[in-house]
Chains A and B, each alone.
Chain A
Amino acid sequence: MRKTLYRYLQGFLVPVTVLAVWQGVSMSGWVSPMILPAPTAVLARWIAYLLPLQPFDPQLSGYIVWMFSGELLHDTYASFYRVMIGFFIGAGLALPLGLAMGASDRMYKLFNPLIQVLRPIPPIAFIPLSILWFGLGNPPAFFLITLGAFFPVLMNTIAGVRHVDAIYIRAARSLGADQKTLFLRVMLPAAAPYILAGARIGIGTAFIVVIVAEMIAVNSGLGYRILEAREFLWSDKIIAGMITIGLLGLAIDTIMNRLNTRLLRWHRGMESR
């Protein structure tokens, strides 16, 4: 009993210490609150950021709508929406191309040189071009996020298909499988652990890119909000925004991890997770 309590508290030890030191430093007056606001100030700002801006007015909207009208929720939704759109376009393009490149040597030889040149260019480096091509607003952001998600999914799908154990293919062929069955029912599921790992990396990259894209091209979302807060020297809001980014990232990764565990419950490596 005491041991489990101790283990439970152990996880809080370092964060609580860091917060206490931070609070102490802020209260001591050594640093200006504009440089480093106190954790309590950040928390207060975070709550203000979360709550609705206007007082409740039943004539304008329902209670639920009002409850969710805070700036933070709007920004979080905007960022999440962009990640999802960009990720699904990127993964949606990468998956068929990756399957084709993994399964056919000809496709691989055809596309690989171009991909090897494009892949090392960070999506961030596409910002100037994306603004030239798509102007401002959501389109350049979608473009950049798509790029960020595309390559991890593509590379992992190719690797996944290429690593399918030849014995599964032999077994399926001896059971009478044709090319289509072989591809859909053997190669695709056998490559799934790789593909899902790629999707997890891809959505992580998409999340990095969305924050950067919002700092450049749009006027909503968490990335935009922390840059805007800097203009007013609201460091407490900057940190509140950063914490929100962290929480959203954690939420997305947790969902991906759950999805992985569910889809790959047959997989050997998943038992311990």
Chain B
Amino acid sequence: MNQHAVTGSLASEPCIAVRGLRQVFTGSGEKEVIALDGIDLDIHTGEFVCLLGPSGCGKSTLLNAIAGFTTPTAGRITVNGASVAGPGPDRGMVFQEYALFPWMTVERNIAFGLEIQKAPKETIRGKVDALLTMLQLTEFRDRFPKDLSGGMRQRVAIARVLALDAPILLMDEPFGALDALTRRNLQDELLRLWSTLCKTVVFVTHSIEESVYLADRVAVMTYRPGTIKRDMPIALPRERDPSSPEFNRYMKELTQLVMEEQQRHHVDELRAAESK
């Protein structure tokens, strides 16, 4: 069903290229934490890549670095050939906490990016209308975020990013706070948008099932320092059936990899507790 599969895009220039990325944070006073070390990752145009790993493995740190919110300690990130120097509207960011502006209505939230680009009023109006329809938000256009459910809020956050026609979507556990049904619903919605609008998606998750359901490729990360442990293409046709044996074979393999890192995370925490 989907045309931009892994094999097709390998020959082209990578859309996002991460080279030797190292990110060191100075913890509270005393010691340095190496969040990321020696990350090399190529993401091609139109690809859907999941960053998977236990909490503390630096997957969000990697995403934030691609978004341009942090400056790498060493190494380099290029997006379509240009070095990342800061956040930009070419990389739309979707947060787990939605990060909608609570003082703006749904409509104003979606229009925000276009308004600050000083787009003409009719253009904004037309685009917002189209997005409201596309994400089934039309009845909610004059509501404030506080009056929406989590799933609805995340739809608005996605619409807000799509309004700018960003070719790249960076998603930081966007469905992590949603109930299972809403989650599946939005996953399908996202896949539909991804294939019709030809976006490149980098999607952070700690859900193995979610990564197999969504991704062309899953990059499993190690726990501290964060490195790419395994870069695994998911060679399953879409729409994927989570109950199929192939799906479960991937689940099993990925679970094995993630559990090893989870174990290291656990040992690390025990050690930290002992030293106190």
Contact = CB atoms under 8 A, between A and B. Distances in A.
Given A176-B113, A266-B144, A268-B146, A171 B164 contact: no
B146 A174 contact: no
Pick the most buried of A176, A177, A178, A190: most chain B CB atoms within 10 A of its CB.
A176
A186 interface: yes
Contacts of A177: 116
A230 B61 CA distance: 71
Interface of A: 167-168, 170-178, 181, 185-186, 189-190, 192, 265-268, 271
Contacts of B161: 175
Say what secondary structure dominates the interface of chain A.
Answer: helix
B87 A174 contact: yes
Contact of B101 (A170, A189, A265, A271): A189
Nearest to A181: B116
A172 B67 CA distance: 12
Interface residues of B, number: 28
Contact of A267 (B68, B89, B112, B146): B146
Given A181-B116, A266-B144, A271-B146, A176 B102 contact: no
Nearest to A190: B103
Interface string B241-265: 0000000000000000000000000
Contact of B160 (A175, A192, A265): A175
A189 B257 CA distance: 45
B81 interface: no
Contacts of A267: 102-103, 146
B249 to A, nearest CB: 37
B93 A170 contact: yes
A266 B69 CA distance: 28
24 contacts: A170-B69, A170-B87, A170-B95, A171-B95, A171-B101, A172-B101, A172-B112, A174-B69, A174-B87, A174-B92, A175-B89, A175-B92, A175-B113, A175-B160, A176-B88, A176-B117, A177-B116, A178-B116, A186-B101, A266-B103, A266-B104, A266-B146, A267-B102, A268-B146
A271 B116 CA distance: 30
A190 B93 CA distance: 20
Contacts of A175: 89, 92, 112-113, 116, 160-161, 164
Interface string B84-97: 00111101110101
B24 interface: no
Contact of B88 (A167, A174, A265, A268): A174
Contact of A176 (B67, B101, B103, B116): B116
B101 A168 contact: yes
B212 to A, nearest CB: 28
Given A172-B112, A174-B92, 11 more contacts: A173-B87, A174-B89, A175-B113, A175-B160, A176-B116, A189-B103, A190-B101, A190-B103, A192-B103, A266-B145, A268-B102
B99 A167 contact: yes
A147 to B, nearest CB: 31
A168 B103 CA distance: 11
Contact of B93 (A171, A181, A268): A171
Given A177-B116, A181-B116, A170 B146 contact: no
B203 to A, nearest CB: 16
Contacts of B95: 167, 170-171
